[in-house]
Chains A and B, each alone.
Chain A
């Protein structure tokens, strides 16, 4: 016999909200109800599942440390039921409340009968925030170099003859050879080189490979994504890429390898971009981005990989625009680096990102040099805007005279931020500390990055203010684990997944990265490095990574939803529109941010 009050409540909470009426009624009929008064201690060493109906219960560790507060819809006892191990925790009623007890038999029966219920409690037990989704097959859209490249290294020494090279190529049936000296890659030689540089030039068969090889060839990391290789090959018009793993060469990736692995890859878009000869052509390419995004989403490509792909496309558009601008304006009067900031730099760009870019110049931007780069920036920024990557409302663009500086200019500017930080200045400046070179000279950029990191690692006052800036906003979680919704101009109340979620993690990870002098820009890679260097402990870093993935995933799905509905893409999420489990995980994610923020405060804002 079921009591409607109990059934209604169960129907409302995760994971039981997925059961049908009959199953709910059956479950409700197996429950015992107990009333706790404040100060009561809950006997938790029973073989039953505890569900909080009303009231607040506080969980303490055996050291009397407050672990968590349980409230309506929360569970306890599943740990013991799942593992048979009991904790030494104690659970004290803080505010009078009702508790539903479910006997072990009924719990296990429900778990066996409904897979999602089982998954829910397993997940709750491991306190992990991973997505609630079947493990997916590795998608061909996110193949990595390591997935397709053969573990076969065919190399030759530079002092060997071209004839030996030709023989080795024909014996191994390959079109190219790695050239190595003392296990270090010094060049590559392809069948085209033998034709163009040896036969056509009338050189003898005894010519040494070292004389005709391509020195210091473009190469790619074994763990890079395949589309990055496509990107690199298209950009430089090459067909062979040595594959590196930790500075050691481990094989060769050819264009044919890629063709074979994915005939109809939508990221061939990148190849197409590099073939365009006009801004209009690039605009046509960029119109395929939303379709591509939907395809990626249908393939269940995780959000961080999708962000990576979208960033790579923006990079390609930028590179091609710079190329087209140079076609128009002539070669640059000096070496330069085209820089990207913010999400493009971090490689987690979303569909509604705007431009954040700048120019780093070898010479001072005066006279003809200045004129040239004004024109170049104008073509590139307007071109990007035409391709749907809108002009930056905050004017963080290479068209801004303050953002076209020489190495000295940039270095001085960063030095000021770091040496005499003011809170207001840092709020605006923090975006500049996520910086990546998109085109032009890597060396110039490396010099700047080295200069910056050297300063930030020894600047406690700067880190203090940067941490303060990162703590300005908090996760939208109330004291009782309720969501704090905020109104948005156009939209109904919701959670801003970027401002009150993703950005908070990005911001606090940046503080740690700058304090430790870490070169990585991508938030996930920064976390990895921070763990490797022992700045963050493994668990904290993993939790932040999970929370970051979860938020990015929810935002990615929200954007997909907006796209498919034909709405403007926004970051505002109505928590009622996601599943109860996702809500639960979102709360956990926000709780992770809260605790990471308090650690950050503890570490950087203590002695000031």
Chain B
């Protein structure tokens, strides 16, 4: 009845529907068989209601291998100035002018990666931003399945009986702890790649019997 209100969004919203309908592998699936999409967003700030996405980077993991041929990095048109956030991600307004519409990128994300388990370091923030972005673009919020490498790291350290300090869960500290190369520099693709390396290491440490369900529990 109110479809005219949504206008062009009707056509687009079907991506959201398809995405939501495509079921992620059941919780009993061994992690070796699951498909993951590790992503990272660079933002104008930390408030999902007020701030915006300036760039997005992702790498898929299939059969425990990071597939670089499907790695993507996009700069996003921001409706407001990136302002002071440029200090972190190094992206300035003039660079973003020739960049992409958020709706196009979200469309690619939803249509290509339905059925994937999404992964981010401190995923709550990324998930909130993605949900709100989808709501704005398509008028609908898809059902994401997210796991969080930061949360998993925290659980792992707690189980080892370690006192977890404030800085110990930041991505560079985690990479160092796992003996992985640290190239993080607040670049969405580099950080997504680093998080993917962290996830591979965490999956190995979890042992052969780990399932997706275990990951969900650890990410809570």
**Which residues of A come within 8 Å of B, CB atoms?**
1-6, 8-9, 28-37, 40, 53-54, 96, 98, 101
A96 adjacent to B65 (CB under 8 Å):
no
B205 adjacent to A3 (CB under 8 Å):
no
Among residues of B, the one whose C-beta sits closest to the C-beta of A55 is: B179
**Which residues of B come within 8 Å of A, CB atoms?**
59, 64-69, 71-73, 179-181, 183, 187, 189-190, 193-194, 196-197, 200-201, 203-205
CB neighbours (8 Å) of A28 from chain B are 68
Contact of A98 among B73, B180, B203 (CB under 8 A): B180
A4 adjacent to B183 (CB under 8 Å):
yes
Separation of A418 and B86 alpha carbons in the complex (Å):
79
Separation of A53 and B68 alpha carbons in the complex (Å):
15
Q: Given A5-B193, A35-B197, does the pair A54, B67 have CB atoms closer than 8 Å?
A: no
Among residues of B, the one whose C-beta sits closest to the C-beta of A9 is: B181
Among residues of A, the one whose C-beta sits closest to the C-beta of B70 is: A1
Separation of A30 and B196 alpha carbons in the complex (Å):
17
B66 adjacent to A1 (CB under 8 Å):
no
CB neighbours (8 Å) of A2 from chain B are 68, 71
Q: Given A3-B193, A5-B183, does the pair A35, B69 have CB atoms closer than 8 Å?
A: no
B65 adjacent to A32 (CB under 8 Å):
yes
Contact of A29 among B71, B187, B190, B201 (CB under 8 A): B71
CB neighbours (8 Å) of B59 from chain A are 3
A32 adjacent to B205 (CB under 8 Å):
no
Give the number of residue pairs across the A-B interface with Cβ within 8 Å.
67
A3 adjacent to B64 (CB under 8 Å):
no
CB neighbours (8 Å) of A33 from chain B are 65-66, 68, 196-197, 200
Separation of A2 and B68 alpha carbons in the complex (Å):
7
B197 adjacent to A98 (CB under 8 Å):
yes
Contact of A32 among B68, B72, B187, B201 (CB under 8 A): B68
CB neighbours (8 Å) of B179 from chain A are 54, 96
A3 adjacent to B65 (CB under 8 Å):
no
Among residues of A, the one whose C-beta sits closest to the C-beta of B71 is: A1
Contact of A35 among B71, B193, B200 (CB under 8 A): B200
Among residues of A, the one whose C-beta sits closest to the C-beta of B207 is: A37
B215 to chain A, nearest CB (A): 16
A1 adjacent to B180 (CB under 8 Å):
no
Separation of A2 and B64 alpha carbons in the complex (Å):
19
A8 to chain B, nearest CB (A): 8
Separation of A37 and B205 alpha carbons in the complex (Å):
8
Separation of A34 and B181 alpha carbons in the complex (Å):
13
B188 to chain A, nearest CB (A): 11
Separation of A35 and B200 alpha carbons in the complex (Å):
6
Contact of B68 among A9, A29, A35, A54 (CB under 8 A): A29
Separation of A31 and B65 alpha carbons in the complex (Å):
10
B213 to chain A, nearest CB (A): 22
B71 adjacent to A101 (CB under 8 Å):
no
B14 to chain A, nearest CB (A): 27
A30 adjacent to B205 (CB under 8 Å):
no
B44 to chain A, nearest CB (A): 23
CB neighbours (8 Å) of B205 from chain A are 37
B105 to chain A, nearest CB (A): 13
Separation of A573 and B196 alpha carbons in the complex (Å):
41
CB neighbours (8 Å) of A4 from chain B are 183, 187, 190
CB neighbours (8 Å) of B200 from chain A are 33-35
Q: Given A4-B183, A5-B190, A54-B181, does the pair A35, B201 have CB atoms closer than 8 Å?
A: yes
Among residues of B, the one whose C-beta sits closest to the C-beta of A5 is: B183
Separation of A8 and B193 alpha carbons in the complex (Å):
14
B183 adjacent to A1 (CB under 8 Å):
no
CB neighbours (8 Å) of A29 from chain B are 68-69, 71
B65 to chain A, nearest CB (A): 4
CB neighbours (8 Å) of A3 from chain B are 59, 68, 71, 189-190, 193
Q: Given A4-B183, A54-B181, does the pair A34, B65 have CB atoms closer than 8 Å?
A: yes
Separation of A3 and B187 alpha carbons in the complex (Å):
10
CB neighbours (8 Å) of B180 from chain A are 54, 98
CB neighbours (8 Å) of B72 from chain A are 1
The list of the 10 closest CB pairs from A to B, nearest first, reads: A35-B200, A33-B66, A5-B183, A37-B204, A32-B65, A1-B71, A3-B193, A31-B68, A34-B65, A1-B73
A44 to chain B, nearest CB (A): 15
CB neighbours (8 Å) of B201 from chain A are 35, 96
B65 adjacent to A101 (CB under 8 Å):
yes
Q: Given A4-B183, A96-B179, does the pair A30, B190 have CB atoms closer than 8 Å?
A: no
CB neighbours (8 Å) of A5 from chain B are 181, 183, 190, 193-194
Among residues of A, the one whose C-beta sits closest to the C-beta of B192 is: A3
Among residues of B, the one whose C-beta sits closest to the C-beta of A106 is: B69
Separation of A29 and B197 alpha carbons in the complex (Å):
16
A32 adjacent to B67 (CB under 8 Å):
yes
7 A-B residue pairings within 8 Å (CB atoms): A3-B189, A5-B181, A5-B193, A32-B65, A33-B196, A36-B204, A98-B197
Separation of A30 and B69 alpha carbons in the complex (Å):
5
B204 adjacent to A6 (CB under 8 Å):
no
Among residues of A, the one whose C-beta sits closest to the C-beta of B61 is: A33
Separation of A1 and B205 alpha carbons in the complex (Å):
29
CB neighbours (8 Å) of A31 from chain B are 68
Among residues of B, the one whose C-beta sits closest to the C-beta of A103 is: B69
CB neighbours (8 Å) of A9 from chain B are 181
CB neighbours (8 Å) of A36 from chain B are 204
Separation of A54 and B179 alpha carbons in the complex (Å):
9
CB neighbours (8 Å) of B204 from chain A are 35-37, 40, 96
A23 to chain B, nearest CB (A): 15
CB neighbours (8 Å) of A96 from chain B are 179, 201, 204
Separation of A182 and B179 alpha carbons in the complex (Å):
79
A6 adjacent to B68 (CB under 8 Å):
yes
B220 to chain A, nearest CB (A): 24
Separation of A53 and B64 alpha carbons in the complex (Å):
16
A77 to chain B, nearest CB (A): 15
Separation of A271 and B196 alpha carbons in the complex (Å):
72
Separation of A96 and B181 alpha carbons in the complex (Å):
12
Separation of A385 and B204 alpha carbons in the complex (Å):
68
Among residues of B, the one whose C-beta sits closest to the C-beta of A33 is: B66
B174 to chain A, nearest CB (A): 14
Separation of A29 and B69 alpha carbons in the complex (Å):
5
B45 to chain A, nearest CB (A): 26
Extra pairs beyond A33-B66, A37-B204, A96-B201 (6, CB < 8 Å): A3-B68, A5-B181, A5-B193, A32-B66, A34-B65, A35-B203
CB neighbours (8 Å) of B65 from chain A are 32-34, 101
Among residues of B, the one whose C-beta sits closest to the C-beta of A3 is: B193
Separation of A394 and B44 alpha carbons in the complex (Å):
75
Among residues of B, the one whose C-beta sits closest to the C-beta of A99 is: B65
Separation of A434 and B203 alpha carbons in the complex (Å):
62
B66 adjacent to A53 (CB under 8 Å):
no
Q: Given A31-B68, A35-B204, does the pair A1, B190 have CB atoms closer than 8 Å?
A: no
A53 adjacent to B190 (CB under 8 Å):
no
